[in-house]
Structure 1
Amino acid sequence: MEVTIESALAEHSPIGVPRADLEELDAAVRSAAERIATGREQDEHGYAALNLPDETDPEPIEAAVESVTPAENWLTIGIGGSALGAATITEALDGDGATYSLDNVDPAAIEALLADIDLSETAMNVVSRSGRTAETLANFLVVREAMETAGVEWTERTVVTTGESGPLATLADRHDLPTLTVPEGVPGRFSALSAVGLAAAAFQGLDLEAILAGGRQAEASLADSLFESPAYAYGATMYALEARGANVAAMMPYAESLEAFAEWFAQLWAESLGKDGRGQTPARALGATDQHSQLQLYRAGPKDKVVTLVRPRERPSVPIPETDQDAIDYLGGSDLRALIDAEFDATEASLRKAGVPAIRIEIDALDPAGIGELLYTMEAACIMAGELAGVDTFTQPAVEWGKDTARALLRGEQTLETVDGLSVRTGPESQ
């Protein structure tokens, strides 16, 4: 993997980072890298995530999946980090079988999905560390009832991924369900390289060991200098850009199969670093599609953004047929691979010309090792950015407040008026 920060430097952008500042920042990176290394050695909360490529064992994951298959469909029932890692891996790679993530409680979407798939050929993985996540449990209960109504024995089609105790752990014991463990000390958004993110990949027959090997490759590249570590270069540069006014972090992969990765990154960056009045707002874009929409804002709008461009170096070849139309004859005889790479290069040049900082990330290929390396690199980068910013990267108090409030509203223990002292409603019923 290669991380290139040239277009994020001050000579190319009014909010870019001066080279001299990076030299000074490297001393802080060295200190932060030592803190991260100590946290890993002691398996501290959060830092333990960077040990997952060495500690995750594919065998029990594969065994649990085999116990509820064969099946045509796999439902990951979770929310946030309990679902996004699995979606990122399975969408990035070309495996067998159809995978779905039930990570929202939109009744119309759930109803449509259950009507569309054959539940007799469906297995599900219910993922919640606490076993108390309202959205996850609600979706599980809905799917379970749908299976029962369809005459499907749900206990033969369910894998539970949870902590050592809680309602889901109790349920799994009661029904003798295959159970996978959410790793201790690892927040959900950092858990992609564990059973949380890998069960769906196992269902698709993907090479879990190769995914983990990619993570180990990224792990081996960690160093105590931003000039020697791709992950720390990215994290430190993003931190420095935020300090200079780049408050929006646009993630723009040039591969449709990495669209879920951009969503995963948005959660990782927002939930980890949005604290104490700090943090960059993630924006999700897709190259080359959003060159025809969002790029207008990035180039001509406020100079408050940094754009990360991601691409694999290896792509399939799809020739573009010859044409006798003079206006488009430059396309004939070329290749879609060459075209999307030209689009990528043009976007980077366009941003640089407009003075918008951009960071380029290139992975060798969209294969198991490549996606493992990409996920690990972003996690390590996020932890480095949090260390430099002095925030608690691994907590999410604002998220927990929202969860607690939703439960209280459902139980009738609170109303909107008692939650915030004010309820503003519109529509005929408020007249």
Structure 2
Amino acid sequence: MPTYSNLDQLAAFASLRHLARKAPDLSNPATLTAERLRTYQAHGAGFDLLYGCQRLDETILDSLQELADQGRAVEQFMAMKQGAVMNRIKGWPSEERQVLHTACRDVFSPTPHAPEASGQARAELEKLAAFLKELASESLTNTQGEPFTDLLQIGIGGSDLGPRALYHALAAHGKKGRRIHFISNVDPDDGLAVLRHVDLSRTLVNVVSKSGSTLETLTNAELVRAAYTQAGLDPSRHFVAVTGQGSPMDDPQKYLRSFYMYDYIGGRYSATSMVGGVMLGFGLGYDNFEEILRGAVAMDQAAEERDIRKNVPLLLALLGIWNHNFLGHETLAVLPYSQALLRFPAHLQQCDMESNGKSCNRLGEPLGYQTGPIVWGEPGTNGQHAFYQLIHQGTTIIPVEFIGFRRNQYGGDIIIKGSSSQEKLTANLLAQSLALAAGQKETNPNRLFSGNRPNAILMAEQLTPYSMGALLALYEAKIVFQGFLWNINSFDQEGVQLGKTLANRLLAHMTAIKSDNSYDGSSSDPLGWALLQASGLLPK
């Protein structure tokens, strides 16, 4: 892997720091003009990025272009798509893997960027299509000859958050008579609550674990497997695996089918692989899953553009760096004005914060600047009656990315006081954007809005499988572009591993004391043992 420069070593960094001292004031009517709002737009794969309410001008945009060029952002993105080993820390033990989630959807071109990986993706898609055809034709049924109506997905992290967000986003496109359920938390109440509402005899269980040994997932799978056994059902006639080829879960004696995921696909980037594909294919139909892939690959292609004014993911990444590293804003709110995107901010929290929550560069050296922001969000307009007060008048400035659609999914609506519900929804979105930027002058200090609060709008025609795929890929590309420019490894998650290691140590104490009342772990693990005692989790 070539050696890349830190963000603060790029020549454009110094000029941007200088420009940040006199960044445009959006509350000044001479800055926030109608012409500005018409001019500052970018377009790609069906999405319009409206960024006139960001604190920038042409000089700043030119410097951001220089930053992207000097940091070789698009060059690195292309290297990733072509199979370079990007998941590594040079000179230190690390995962040493390719990063090829883009190959999962690069299956429509005769000349894919990573032919071997795309070939493997096509093979899994063919297996999935055949499996779904068996279910549809009822050549694959339960032991009573009844068709399967439900699917229960068991996974955690990227095996849950992304697929769950996509399913909820596209439930309007669901197949009639099919229902999807999720179990992710190792909290037994999560699993038991779901099991109370499903007919096990007509439910498939999709267990997702690349290694085949993820403790939380296997624990939940055994909980569900026990429920099948107690109901007099054979789990092997209901369970499906999405796992690494040859893993402990790749076992035809325990699973109806095994679909494969590969080491070059990280969990938080895996929604367009079989991790999401099996569940989405069952719940939405194969054709709709393929549309998700088509939208994603269209955005992947749009992200190859070197001109930041024509590359929506890259421009959004640079706006984030401008706000975070130069204007000093630590958090980012992603606010979708679509109830169907209820779970999308949670997916972005993992995808962004697990990717870019790093403090050393790709040589293992400590960094002297901020990396990933705190990401959070909730759908509008509910959020307007919750936390928007702080966004508008609080002492912390929170940049916002709004997401909206011109048409609703189901088509039905009602006119009240001259406008439809969808018109009210989009009007509220646009109003929030203007209010944050322009503010409001008022002699009453309680009604004074300072404005000058940066935000951008992502707008598309309608939330469909295609646009959802494009939106997913847009944020994936944005996140990796930022990681490339921060010169960090966006594809490992050592912070997660540390927590697992310590949890296993505590579990070992809990297990030992069950078989030996005299067991005392205070000498081998004084902190862990003391915390177990303080928490009341040891026998008295």
Q: Do both share a fold (TM > 0.5)?
A: yes
Q: Please tell me the root mean square deviation across aligned C-alpha atoms, in Å.
A: 2.4
Q: Which amino acid letter does the alignment assign opposite residue 163 of structure 2? A: A
8 A Cα contact 1:318 1:337, kept in partner: no
- Of stretches 354-363 and 335-344 in structure 1, the one that deviates more from structure 2 is 354-363
How many percent of aligned residue pairs carry the same amino acid?
Answer: 26
Q: Which amino acid letter does the alignment assign opposite residue 357 of structure 1? A: P
- Determine helix, strand or coil for the equivalent of 1:386: helix
Aligned counterpart, 1:142: 223
Q: Which amino acid letter does the alignment assign opposite residue 269 of structure 2? A: F
Deviation at 1:421, TM superposition (A): 8.7
- Of stretches 250-259 and 238-247 in structure 1, the one that deviates more from structure 2 is 238-247
- CA deviations over 1:303-347 (Å, ceiling 9, x no partner): 3421111112222454445xxxxxxxxx43421111111111111
- Of stretches 51-60 and 133-142 in structure 1, the one that deviates more from structure 2 is 51-60
- Determine helix, strand or coil for the equivalent of 2:242: strand
Higher relative helix content: 1
- Determine helix, strand or coil for the equivalent of 1:237: helix
Q: Match for 1:212 among 284, 289, 293?
A: 293
Aligned counterpart, 2:23: none
Aligned counterpart, 1:423: 531
Q: TM-score, normalised by structure 2?
A: 0.72
8 A Cα contact 1:9 1:19, kept in partner: no
**2:69 is the alignment partner of 1:27:** no
**2:101 is the alignment partner of 1:49:** yes
Aligned counterpart, 2:151: 74
Deviation at 1:71, TM superposition (A): 1.8
Aligned counterpart, 2:373: 280
What does residue range 58-73 of structure 1 map to in structure 2 within 5 Å?
58-65=125-132, 66=134, 70-73=147-150
Aligned counterpart, 1:327: none
Aligned counterpart, 1:343: 428
8 A Cα contact 2:332 2:401, kept in partner: yes
Deviation at 1:133, TM superposition (A): 0.9
Aligned counterpart, 1:8: 54
- Of stretches 391-400 and 309-318 in structure 1, the one that deviates more from structure 2 is 309-318
Aligned counterpart, 1:386: 483
Aligned counterpart, 2:316: 234
Q: Give the 3 Å change call, closer, same or farther, for CA 209–305 of structure 1 in structure 2.
A: same
Q: Give the 3 Å change call, closer, same or farther, for CA 260–428 of structure 1 in structure 2.
A: closer
- Of stretches 65-74 and 122-131 in structure 1, the one that deviates more from structure 2 is 65-74
- Determine helix, strand or coil for the equivalent of 2:246: coil
**2:270 is the alignment partner of 1:191:** yes
Aligned counterpart, 1:202: 281
- Determine helix, strand or coil for the equivalent of 1:407: helix
Q: Which amino acid letter does the alignment assign opposite residue 131 of structure 1? A: G
**2:204 is the alignment partner of 1:123:** yes
* CA distance in structure 1 between the aligned counterparts of 2:79 and 2:490, rounded to whole angstroms: 16
The structure with more radius of gyration: 2
* CA distance in structure 2 between the aligned counterparts of 1:304 and 1:411, rounded to whole angstroms: 45
5+ residue gaps, structure 1, are 11-17, 322-330
- CA deviations over 1:177-197 (Å, ceiling 9, x no partner): 311111331110001111111
**2:419 is the alignment partner of 1:334:** yes
8 A Cα contact 1:77 1:101, kept in partner: yes
- Determine helix, strand or coil for the equivalent of 1:175: coil
Deviation at 1:368, TM superposition (A): 1.0
- Determine helix, strand or coil for the equivalent of 1:302: coil
* CA distance in structure 2 between the aligned counterparts of 1:176 and 1:118, rounded to whole angstroms: 19
- Determine helix, strand or coil for the equivalent of 1:362: strand
8 A Cα contact 1:46 1:187, kept in partner: no
- Of stretches 286-295 and 53-62 in structure 1, the one that deviates more from structure 2 is 53-62
Q: Give the 3 Å change call, closer, same or farther, for CA 51–176 of structure 1 in structure 2.
A: closer
Looking at both structures, which has the greater relative contact order when contacts are Cα pairs under 8 Å and sequence separation is at least 6? 1
Q: Give the 3 Å change call, closer, same or farther, for CA 424–48 of structure 1 in structure 2.
A: same
5+ residue gaps, structure 2, are 1-46, 86-96, 107-117, 142-146, 360-369, 440-450, 513-520
Deviation at 1:50, TM superposition (A): 2.2
- Determine helix, strand or coil for the equivalent of 1:167: coil
- Determine helix, strand or coil for the equivalent of 2:400: strand
Q: Which amino acid letter does the alignment assign opposite residue 225 of structure 1? A: D
Q: Give the 3 Å change call, closer, same or farther, for CA 7–424 of structure 1 in structure 2.
A: farther
Deviation at 1:176, TM superposition (A): 5.4
- Determine helix, strand or coil for the equivalent of 1:127: strand
Deviation at 1:361, TM superposition (A): 1.0
8 A Cα contact 1:182 1:195, kept in partner: yes
What does residue range 145-156 of structure 1 map to in structure 2 within 5 Å?
145-156=226-237
